[in-house]
């Protein structure tokens, strides 16, 4: 396997799987309670986003704390702020596009087209992921090349 693809899978796949589970659970519960497709689409998108970044940020902080310990340094506010800067640079543009337009649109339309909420939400999630990861990976590679952690 190409080393870059392996790196991207290690970085993004666990968070994506966690996000997918949270998105589907939210969709099921929201639609069961409300029968409202718009509310289901937006709430599922929001919970998916929170779970994804919660996973990524937590993992990045743990990784940086371990790295600091190996270098006999303390993890500081500066480390935290640089980590947040990196997250914003890596995901900012793609996330704005995905959360505000792409994911809610797909999560509203695809279940209607497919005729099944769960399958439709899953298809919508992965279609929006394709749009999301193209600029994200480009930003990640540029960030690694030009910015120090």
Q: What is the DSSP string of 44-113?
A: HHHHHHHHHHHHHHHHHHHHHHHHHHHTT----HHHHHHHHHHHHHHHHHHHHHIIIIIHHHHHHHHHHH
Distance CA 116, CA 123 (A): 10
Domain that holds residue 102: 3-146
CB count, 10 Å around CB of 35? 9
pLDDT string in tens for the chain (149-residue length): 899 999 999 999 999 999 999 988 999 999 999 999 889 988 988 898 899 999 999 999 999 999 999 999 999 999 999 999 999 999 999 999 988 889 889 989 999 999 998 899 889 988 999 999 999 999 999 999 998 76
CB count, 10 Å around CB of 70? 8
Global pTM value? 0.84
Tokens of 15: 């968070």
Number of folded domains that form the chain:
1
């Amino acid at each position: 396997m190409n080393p870059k693809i392996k790196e991207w899978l290690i970085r993004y796949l666990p968070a994506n799987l966690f996000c997918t589970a949270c998105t589907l659970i939210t969709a099921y519960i929201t639609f069961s309670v409300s029968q409202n497709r718009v509310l289901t689409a937006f709430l599922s998108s929001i919970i998916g986003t929170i779970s994804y970044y919660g996973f990524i940020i937590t993992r990045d902080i743990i990784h940086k704390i371990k790295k600091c310990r190996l270098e006999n340094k303390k993890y500081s506010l500066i480390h935290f702020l640089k980590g947040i800067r990196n997250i914003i640079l890596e995901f900012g543009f793609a996330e704005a596009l995905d959360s505000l337009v792409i994911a809610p649109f797909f999560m509203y339309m695809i279940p209607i087209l497919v005729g099944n909420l769960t399958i439709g939400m899953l298809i919508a999630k992965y279609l929006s992921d394709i749009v999301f990861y193209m600029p994200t990976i480009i930003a990640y590679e540029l960030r690694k090349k030009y910015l120090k952690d």
